[in-house]
A and B are shown apart, each in its own frame.
Chain A
Amino acid sequence: MNLLAVGIAAGLAALGASIGIGLIVSRTVEGVSRQPEARGPLMSIMFIGIGVVEAVPIIAIVISFMLMFMF
């Protein structure tokens, strides 16, 4: 039962994270193609955004590790 919960948690976390990061990167590519000279600042903003988005699924992954190994 725990393994099922781990699978669901990790899968949903991966789904949400990939959608979110995909949106961020696609908008960054759009911005760079409109304004190629703004590539440097846009890239660093993109990485900050990815970092912020990624924190939530990573917490879900940590919780699924806890479910797998501790209970």
Chain B
Amino acid sequence: MEHGSPLFELELFGLPIIFELSTVLMVVISSLVTFLIFALMARNIAVRPTGRVQIALEILVNFVRGMITGNMSWAQGGKFHFLALTLITYIFVANFIGIPFMFAAPDEASTLWWKSPTADPTITLTLAALMIIMTHYYGVQERGMGDYVKSYFEPTWWMAPLKFLEEFTYNLTLGLRLYGNVYAGEILLTLLVTLVMSGSIIATLGFIPMVVWQAFKVFISGIQAFIFVMLTMVYISHKISADH
């Protein structure tokens, strides 16, 4: 089952810039969902928690705090707390949003409008590149330019090309891991839907592996969001702590 994608091309200085409109739409929707989750959960918080909502929010915040303190000291890593909290929720929502249903427009190309925004390599590689650039920024800010440059030549000078190359590998694996997991899951869901809709009676039983795969994909979404944020924190701690 092939799906078309709504493309919008913009000519800028003679270079074509291609927007995929469904990805743009889904990024906006998942950002709004993330915002609404936190806005509704943190609406009436008290020193003495009264409802389950605040308890759940505190569990999430403490979980993210534990992820940071596992990698670096709280005095250094405290400023990344809300970044990690927003990132883990956003990636989980973005992975999850394509699981329950999909929407393809009923035109001849069957344009796909509702999908996971992270099933697009542009989004995940951009997120990964932002995180890697941020680790360099904080590396320079925390340790100074001299120590930052010197960290490439440790333990010996001939490690420098490898260390330089490593930064691009981090970017590539961080982005492609998220993209590959989400995209492979969506392809398998599409195949199972095609099987169920194929018309024969026995193929209708295909909804059983579909439900199982959807449940497993919720698990994968959580794990991938966790790994993305965890690895971001590991890379930040490599850059800002002096003992490495």
Contacts and interface: CB of A to CB of B under 8 A. Distances in A.
B243 to A, nearest CB: 18
A15 interface: no
A52 B234 CA distance: 12
Dominant secondary structure of chain B at its interface with chain A: helix
A65 B227 contact: no
Contact of B180 (A47, A48, A58): A58
B179 interface: yes
B206 interface: no
A59 B180 contact: yes
B230 A51 contact: yes
Nearest to A40: B66
Interface residues of A, number: 14
A20 B40 CA distance: 42
B135 to A, nearest CB: 16
Contacts of A48: 227, 230-231, 234
B231 A51 contact: yes
Interface stretch (B74-82, B87-95, B181-189, B197-205): B181-189
B143 interface: no
Interface residues of B, number: 19
A55 interface: yes
A62 interface: yes
Contacts of A59: 172-173, 176, 180
A44 B184 contact: no
B177 A44 contact: no
Contact of B177 (A41, A47, A55, A65): A55
B70 A55 contact: no
- Sorted nearest first, the 10 A-B pairs with minimum C-beta distance are A58-B180, A51-B227, A55-B173, A55-B177, A62-B180, A58-B177, A61-B180, A59-B176, A61-B184, A48-B230
Interface of B: 67, 70, 121, 172-173, 176-177, 179-181, 183-184, 187, 223, 226-227, 230-231, 234
Given A58-B184, A59-B176, A65-B187, 15 more contacts: A47-B223, A48-B230, A48-B231, A48-B234, A51-B230, A54-B177, A55-B173, A55-B176, A59-B180, A61-B184, A62-B121, A62-B176, A62-B179, A62-B183, A65-B183
22 contacts: A44-B67, A44-B70, A44-B230, A47-B226, A48-B230, A48-B231, A51-B231, A52-B173, A52-B231, A54-B181, A58-B180, A58-B181, A58-B184, A59-B173, A59-B176, A59-B180, A61-B180, A61-B184, A62-B121, A62-B179, A62-B183, A65-B184
